[in-house]
Chains A and B, each alone.
Chain A
Amino acid sequence: MRFLTDIGQYFIMLKNIFKRMTKASVLRNLIFKEVDDLIISSLGIVIFLSFFIGAVITIQTALNLNNPIIPKSLIAFTARQSIILEFAPTFMSIIIAGKVGSFITSSIGTMRVTEQIDALEVMGINSINYLVFPKIIAMLLYPFVICISMFVGIAGAYLAGVMGGYIGPEQFLQGLQDDFIPFHLVYAFIKTIFFSFILATVPAYHGYYMKGGALEVGQASTTSFVWTSVVLIITNYILTQLLLS
């Protein structure tokens, strides 16, 4: 029954995020800081992972396609579809849930433990708005991160495929364009927008409502990662069913 209480409390928190807005000049600075903490600082790991996962997808596809009837361009086609439809939007989001989500939970949780949230409330500030709203706005840039992930992933796939001798450059470019459905990109970015909201709010919920001390901050971060991943996967399923079926 505990998770039902959590779901109800989460939606009450969502409602409260948009009440009693913090002063605009203060919010602006907070948003810039969150963009730096959540978006810019994630670019390194996103680029690194995307490049090598793109490369591995190509190698594995190439090694499993040894039938001479199947054209080599299918390797690039498979890499493109895997990266655009699932790897970049969904699995990168789960990785980001570990990095950004844990950061959000632990930073808000520490503020709870050290009474900084009480200090905001005593001053008459809507602490949920002050802490969570800038994160939601900053995460609106998350689709750009995923865009970079797609680009770097395909670049990794190209380099691994061509330099590893699995596929020629022309064949790769041909495969990359074969049966391209622009709506797949729209689908990927619609998912990403939903995911960015989940990545900002679910970890914030776990940090904001945590009780206890330093040990509980660590536990809240772990719980937050698990629940963010669960919500991402379920949302991914629902959106895929709605948008692609």
Chain B
Amino acid sequence: MIKVNDLKKSFNGEEILKGLNTEFYNGKTNLIIGQSGAGKTVFLKCLLGLIIPTEGTIEYNGTAYSTLEPEQQRELRKKMGMVFQGSALFDSMNIEENVMFPLRMFTKKTKEERLKRVNEVLERVNLENVNKKFPSEISGGMQKRVAIARAIVNKPNFLFCDEPNSGLDPQTAIVIDNLIQEITKENDITTVINTHDMNSVLEIGENIVYLKKGNIEWQGSKDDIYKADNKNLTDFVYSSELFKKVRETQLKAD
């Protein structure tokens, strides 16, 4: 579980995050949503330890990151997996080497053990016969799956995803969403997803945090969201005609 206490972050005197208090739960897909400029990326980078907050603390399974020594912080980082918006696969390595990378860096496994684990996770993300291909030789959806495989290969406790569906067709996006949700439940990890994709919100949003201008305006699940009376939230989530009709249908059904 990740607990955020009064998190503030300023850049050049401008406050981007204005005292966030929230929790992200184990075994659940936690989503951060909000308009561009709401502070989602800064929040995610704070959670990853890439940006040091101006004030406040972030606790990972009860341990506050800021109280740890640098070496302990690096050890904690090794328990985090990250799926980047553009996949961020290493161009110079083939798929097998990309997925094996965290194992080579942080474990003392033999080459056979590493290869076995790589094949296990590649199979888990439904990728076969791509081991020797390079990132440029596979599709965007496959790259995302490889990125997920690399993020989970070292059995992390925390999985962070930045816009995992960007650039994917709707069908592949749902496959990726479901895959992340399944992996979260199978491994009982804390998954935090930064997304703009309203399909993802309504499909896998078990704990949704809505950010607006650096504040948390609303928090709840996909089952609560259509009943929410926060106008900013409903304007944001149900911005398209299709989603407005979906909401009306849901409200009528209630």
**Chain A residues at the B interface, C-beta cutoff of 8 Å:** 20, 22-23, 25-26, 33, 110-111, 114-116, 118-119, 121-125
Contacts and interface: CB of A to CB of B under 8 A. Distances in A.
A124 B82 contact: no
B82 A26 contact: no
A123 B102 contact: yes
Contacts of A122: 48, 50, 77, 80, 82, 160
A118 B84 contact: yes
Interface residues of B, number: 23
Interface of B: 48, 50, 73-75, 77-78, 80, 82, 84-86, 88-92, 101-102, 104-106, 160
Contacts of A20: 74
Contacts of A121: 50
Nearest to B102: A123
B84 A115 contact: yes
Contacts of A23: 104-105
Contacts, number: 49
Given A119-B84, A122-B48, A122-B50, A110 B78 contact: no
A25 B107 CA distance: 12
Contacts of A125: 105
Highest count of chain A CB atoms <10 Å: which of B86, B89, B105: B105
Contacts of A116: 88-91
A46 B244 CA distance: 67
A-B complex: 10 closest residue pairs judged by Cβ atoms: A124-B77, A115-B88, A124-B74, A119-B88, A122-B82, A115-B84, A116-B88, A124-B78, A122-B48, A114-B86
B91 to A, nearest CB: 7
Contacts of A119: 82, 84, 88, 90
A118 B105 CA distance: 16
A3 B160 CA distance: 37
A121 B49 CA distance: 9
A193 B98 CA distance: 34
Contacts of A114: 86, 88, 91
Contact of B91 (A33, A110, A123): A110
Contacts of B88: 114-116, 118-119
B77 A123 contact: yes
B63 to A, nearest CB: 15
Contact of B105 (A111, A115, A123): A123
A119 B160 CA distance: 12
A118 B48 CA distance: 10
Contacts of A33: 92
A33 B106 CA distance: 21
Nearest to B71: A20
8 contacts: A111-B91, A115-B86, A115-B88, A118-B84, A119-B82, A122-B50, A122-B82, A123-B77
Contacts of B77: 122-124
A74 B63 CA distance: 76
B50 A118 contact: yes
A20 B92 CA distance: 23
Which of A23, A121, A123 has the most B CB atoms < 10 Å from its CB?
A: A123
A123 B50 contact: no
A26 B86 CA distance: 25
Given A23-B105, A122-B50, A124-B74, A115 B85 contact: yes
A124 B90 contact: no
Nearest to A110: B91
Nearest to A117: B88
A124 B76 CA distance: 8
A11 B3 CA distance: 37
Contacts of B90: 111, 116, 119
Nearest to B79: A124
A26 B77 CA distance: 19
A124 B104 contact: no
Contacts of A22: 105
